[in-house]
Amino acid sequence: MLKILKYSFFDLSRSYWSYCYLLFFLITTTVLLYLSQDPFKVMVSLLNIVLILTPLIGIMLGTMYFYNSREFAELLLAQPIKRTSVFLGQYLGLSLSLTLSFLLGMGLPFLFFGVFGSDHTLDFLMLIAVGVLLTLVFTALAFVVASRFENKLKGFGLAILVWLSLAVLYDGLMLILMLVFESYPLEKAVLAAVLFNPIDLSRILIMLRLDISALLGFTGAVFNAFLGTTQGMLVAFLALLLWVTSPVFGFLHVIRGKDF
Amino acid sequence: MIEIKDLYKSFGKNQVLKGVDLTIPRGQITAVLGPNGSGKTTVLKSILGLVVPDQGMITYQGHPLDKSGNYRHQIGYLPQIARFPDNLRVRELFDMIQDLRSEKSDISSLVENFKLQPFMRQRLRNLSGGTRQKVNTILTFMFDCELYILDEPTAGLDPVAMIKLKELITNRQEQGSTFLLTTHIMSLVEELADHIIFLLDGRIHYHGPLQDLKSLHGEANLERAIARILESNGDGSTKSKSPTHA
């Protein structure tokens, strides 16, 4: 598996996409830091970019990568390597490559700006951690979709739909439900519902860390009120880890019974 | 060497294999023939573990196929379509497969035979179809294997490369390797194959020595013998020969 990881990463490190992704974060972060001069404000601005963009890139590149490496996977599967190792290796290779682009793109400008050692070091690390976790979650979801659907058009469509649902539609739906059932005590239901959306979880995780109650929103406030800051962060973090592992097991399960 | 018992496989509603039983004899070249969609590639891929059968049993050297895929150390596989990671160079691909199999191999004579030296530093995405097929062929033959599974090995090869491929196959057979191949080129089958498996509509229609197939249908030419089978199957008037095991 480690060998597959190495070669997937090596292949991707020469791909045009990895550099575009890296450059995007590098330029955005540098420009924002240069314009505002306040790392805290920049982090808040970057938060939404991280919450929307890392899932989108993760799920799109993941789907694309899976479909593109289809025939090559066939060649690898004819070698004396376990099926699950081939795909776990490819998944980790892609995640590693995306993570590295993200880390360098966001990390380098902040490093030059001297965020480390300042009051905001932990806030920054939290933002990075969330970005990395979201990359892992959505790349795994991409692998689930792409391994399940042979038809590329269907696969891409569904991948976009998954992203759209979790990034945009989910919040809208929650809002509508809250309006409809406003006369009922909804706190616990909302608390549970948040656990089913990795993007919401990430948002709350960062909001709790940055302590910006104005941006916390209803779900975040409920989270804070019920669990408190430390416990809330712990629960959100564990739920996110579960969000990484379950789709990974999911696609490995699909792969085991798949024909190539 | 390989025994397949009662193999069934369907893709969705399409039942591709409907109870295939066969034995692949050791040290011989067996050609799997049949019209498009008759299940040739599915049989080959089932042996490799690429396709998961719905029902049935495959044993390699007397052992059922294991999920870890260790038995594939003994198999060289040439797939029908050759596609590789776009950003790798030819040399890197060869090194990579050696690394993945943890086996060393001297490919210089193969590279020379197929005239691939000028391409070794090129990226795989820039190669023509025929050159990719040559790369694919070298990947298959770079290790000394007990069994070679070749799916349409001549597709896209020029006449010179084709001759080299035939030489390679006969050389390896003389060293004791077993071959299982599919092709639509009957002259290649006549030249190389010892055994024929004829698949029709997911079932084995004929399984036995090449010579017997010709004499059975009273034809000196394999292509005509095959055409006879297809014709007789088409009108259903002639009873087909039941599968025989070699």
Per-residue pLDDT tens over the stretch B86-98? 778 899 999 999 9
Distance CA B111, CA A34 (A): 55
For residue B195, the cross-strand partners are B30, B209
CA distance A202 to A57: 16
Q: What is the pLDDT of residue B227?
A: 83
* pLDDT at position B144 over 70: yes
Mean predicted confidence (pLDDT) in B40-65: 91
pLDDT for position B138: 94
Q: Which residues of A touch B66 (CB under 8 A)?
A: none
What's residue A94's pLDDT? 95
HSE-CB for A162 with a 13 A CA cutoff: 27
CA B208 to chain centre: 17
**Pairing, β B147-151 against β B178-182:** parallel
Provide, as residue numbers in chain A, all residues whose Cβ is less than 8 Å from the Cβ of B71: 80
Given CB atoms, is A74 within the 8 Å cutoff of chain B?
yes
Burial A20-37 (b: 16+ CB within 10 A, else e): ebbebbbebbbebbeeee
Task: Using alpha carbons, select from B129, B138, B130, B143 the residue that is nearest to residue B90.
Answer: B138
Task: Check residue B223 and give its pLDDT.
Answer: 84
pLDDT of residue B220: 80
Chain B residues near residue A260 by CB distance under 8 angstroms: 45, 50-51
Average pLDDT over chain B, rounded to whole?
87
Please list the residues that pair with B4 across neighbouring strands: B22, B58
Say how many domains are in chain A.
Answer: 1
In this prediction, residue B245 carries a pLDDT of 43
CB–CB of B39/B199 below 8 Å?
yes
Q: How many C-beta atoms surround the C-beta of residue B228 within 10 A?
A: 17
Question: What's the pLDDT at B238?
Answer: 37
Nearest alpha-carbon partner for A242 in A188, A201, A190: A201
By the CB < 8 Å criterion, does A40 face chain B? no
| Number of residues written out for chain A | 260
Q: Which two tokens stand for residue A47?
A: 């938060």
- Among chain B residues, the shortest Cα distance to A90 is held by B85
Lowest-confidence region among A8-22, B21-35, B133-147, B224-238: B224-238
Cα A192 to Cα A51, A200, A211, B125, distances in angstroms: 20, 12, 22, 48
The answer to whether the CB of B199 falls within 8 A of the CB of B205 is yes
Closest CA to B147 of A80, A73, A86: A80
Identify the domain containing residue A238 by its residue range. Answer: 2-256
Q: How far is CA B83 from CA A71, B78, B87, B133, in A?
A: 6, 11, 12, 9
Shortest CB distance from A80 goes to which of B70, B84, B87?
B70
3-state secondary structure of B46: helix
Suggest the residue from B54, B87, B95, B125 to mutate for an interface test with chain A (most A CBs closer than 10 A).
B87
State the residue for tokens 């480690």: A2
Given a cut of 50, is residue B237 above it in pLDDT? no
For B11, which of A15, A75, A259 is closest by C-beta distance? A259
Which residue carries 């070749």 as its tokens? B150
- Sites in chain A below the pLDDT cut of 70: 213-218
Does the beta-carbon distance from B79 to A75 stay under 8 Å? Answer: yes
User: For the purposes of burial, counting CB atoms within 10 Å of the CB of B64, is it exposed (0-12), middle (13-18) or buried (19 or more)?
Assistant: exposed
Q: Which of A172, A18, A2, A150 is nearest to A88 (CA)?
A: A2
- Chain A: give the shortest CA distance to residue B203, in Å: 20
Which of A3, A7, A67 to probe the B interface (max B CBs under 10 A)?
A7
Window 241-260 of A, Cβ < 8 Å to B: 257-260
User: Which tokens belong to A197?
Assistant: 């959306």
Rounded distance, CA A109 to CA A113, Å? 6
**Residue B244: pLDDT band with limits 50, 70, 90:** very low
- Please tell me the predicted confidence (pLDDT) of residue B172: 94
pLDDT surpassing 60 at residue B239: no
Edge to edge, what strands does the sheet with B29-33 contain? Answer: B75-78, B147-151, B178-182, B29-33, B195-200, B203-209
ipTM of model: 0.82
Please choose, from the candidates A65, A252, A56, the residue with its C-alpha nearest in 3D space to the C-alpha of residue A137. A56
**Whose structure tokens read 């084709």?**
B162
Looking at residue A216, its pLDDT comes to 65
Angle (CA) A115-A116-A121 rounded to 5° is: 85
In this complex, the residue of A4, A7, A71 whose CB is nearest that of residue B81 is: A71
B48 vs A15, A78, A82: nearest CB: A78
The DSSP string of B148-196 is: EEEESTTTT--HHHHHHHHHHHHHHHHTT-EEEEE-S-HHHHHHH-SEE
Structure tokens at A107: 């990390």
The DSSP line for A145-198 is HHHH-S-HHHHHHHHHHHHHIIIIIHHHHHHHHHHHTTTS--HHHHHHHHHT-H
Q: What pLDDT sits at residue B246?
A: 39
A15 vs B: CB within 8 A = yes
